Amino acid sequence: MRVRVSPHPTAYLTETTIQAMTVPGARCNVRVIYASGTASRARALQTTQTADGGGTVAWTWHYGSRSSGQAHATVLCTRGDKEGMGTVSFTVQ
């Protein structure tokens, strides 16, 4: 699975998007760990997304941590009995 973050790098209160490519129809969740080590509790990241016909899922939110450094996003997708996971690290200024 391919996962990307834009913009990269991002910054505090910047609208940020996590996008993943998986199989069409997969149901996906995301978890973001801020550079401070805490998990994001943003509502926009708490929703389960279903991949479109091209296999794309995306979540957009305003990056809510003032901590700079490396943050991480992990996307977990399932479809039937198949499961896939992808992780990306991204820079926060």
pLDDT value of position 79: 97
How many Cα atoms sit within 13 Å of 29 on the Cβ side? 9
How many CB atoms neighbour CB 71 within 10 A?
Answer: 24
The 10 Å Cβ neighbour count of residue 74 is 16
pLDDT digits (tens, 9 = 90+) for 28-54: 999 999 999 999 999 999 999 999 999
The highest-level CATH class for domain 2-92 is mainly beta
Mean pLDDT score, 48-66: 96
Note the pLDDT of residue 56.
98
This prediction's pTM? 0.94
What is the model's pLDDT at position 6? 97
Contacts with 84 (C-beta within 8 Å, 6 or more apart), sequence order:
1, 22, 23, 26, 76, 77, 78
Q: Is residue 69 within a helix (H) or strand (E), and if so which, with residue range?
A: strand 69-79
